[in-house]
Amino acid sequence: MSNQVLPVSEPAPAPEISVVIPVFNEEENLRELGERLIRTLTAMGRPYEIIFVDDGSTDGSWELLTDLNRQYPQNIRALQFHRNFGQHQAIFAGFQASRGQVMVTLDADLQNPPEEIPRLVAKLDEGFDTVGGWRENRQDSIFRRLPSQLVNTVMSRVTGVKLRDYGCMLRAYRRSVVDSINQCQESSSFIPALANLFAQRVAEIPVGHAERERGKSKYGIIKLLRLNFDLMTGFSNLPIHLVGFMGVAIACLGLLFGFMLLLRRIFVGPEVEGVFTLFAILFVFVGLNTLGLALIGEYVGRIYREVRGRPRFVVRQTLGPES
């Protein structure tokens, strides 16, 4: 034994795993969630931190989080927004505060079982950059599942990353991916899709899904529509392309109609006072108008993309001396 003075308390080891959880009025679920998380993560035997982000809750959530932090000061941290900024902004904030090499996100309502975390992390350790869960046995109503299916198909197309479940928030990310996400300054975004832009190897594994037992869903129909609209407009110009396509289609139909009327005039004679000819001309113009609108939309879309200021590229490795 050396007679060096030992520090009074060992500094906690730097966390390896950071779990980020958005919380909006979930007081009924937090205690059970905290306990199940602590049990699962302790069993994994790697240093971890749990970061709760209170997204402007108006119930007792913050007091419960304060309690949890007092009980497990080394492992549980909490941030509080002063108002409701939305689930994805809460995750952004959690990512910015996180210190681990592996980030895991999940919902606070116990619909995503915390016990699935070791499987996600194990998959990540196989060399993937992000691992998503897909809800094998999704316990939501058909009105929630059908639109999700549409979104999954469209998003898989427009981002070029085929995922079965873009909406599942039980996911794991490598530090490098989260660092890139942290550079994005956009105020409306969708984290799983954003992560796909920065991840090279993406995996998906089936995870369990439970019904929401306590509290109710924070997504009403309007909020859900807005989230999906953010997702579409944030990651593609697909909506405006559809308008452009419609414009071209209307104009073409108008031309075809005009051509038919011309043939009719030659072989049968003119139709009632040329009214339909006028319609044909009108259709062509309406179509061109719509196309014009879509072109303007396309430019606005591009301006929007610039304004978002996402990192335009991510350098994975450099050889030779780095600056």
Closest separation in Å from C-beta 33 to ligand UDP = 9
Among residues 287, 276, 298, 281, the alpha carbon closest in space to that of 249 is found at 287
Binds ligand UDP by CB under 6 A, chosen from 76, 90, 172, 250: 90
Among residues 95, 86, 100, 123, the alpha carbon closest in space to that of 207 is found at 123
Binds ligand UDP by CB under 6 A, chosen from 27, 109, 129, 165: 109
CA dihedral 102, 105, 108, 114 (to 10 degrees): -60
Residue 111 found at the interface with Mg ion (CB under 5 A)? yes
- 159 contacts 235 by C-beta, under 8 angstroms: yes
Which conformational region is residue 320 in: left (phi greater than 0), alpha (psi within -120 to 50 degrees), or beta?
Answer: left
Binds ligand UDP by CB under 6 A, chosen from 75, 105, 111, 148: 111
Closest to ligand UDP by CB, 183 vs 217, is 217
Residue 108 found at the interface with ligand UDP (CB under 6 A)? yes
Residue 109 found at the interface with Mg ion (CB under 5 A)? yes
CA dist 312 → 34, 108, 154, 233 (Å): 38, 32, 23, 18
Binds ligand UDP by CB under 6 A, chosen from 34, 38, 51, 55: 55
Instruction: Dig out the tokens for 61 from the structure.
Output: 């959530």
Residue 74 found at the interface with ligand UDP (CB under 6 A)? no
Half-sphere exposure of 230 (CA within 13 A, CB side): 20
Closest separation in Å from C-beta 283 to ligand UDP = 43
Residues that bind ligand UDP (CB under 6 A): 22-24, 26, 55, 84, 86-87, 90, 107-109, 111, 217-219
Residues that bind Mg ion (CB under 5 A): 107, 109, 111
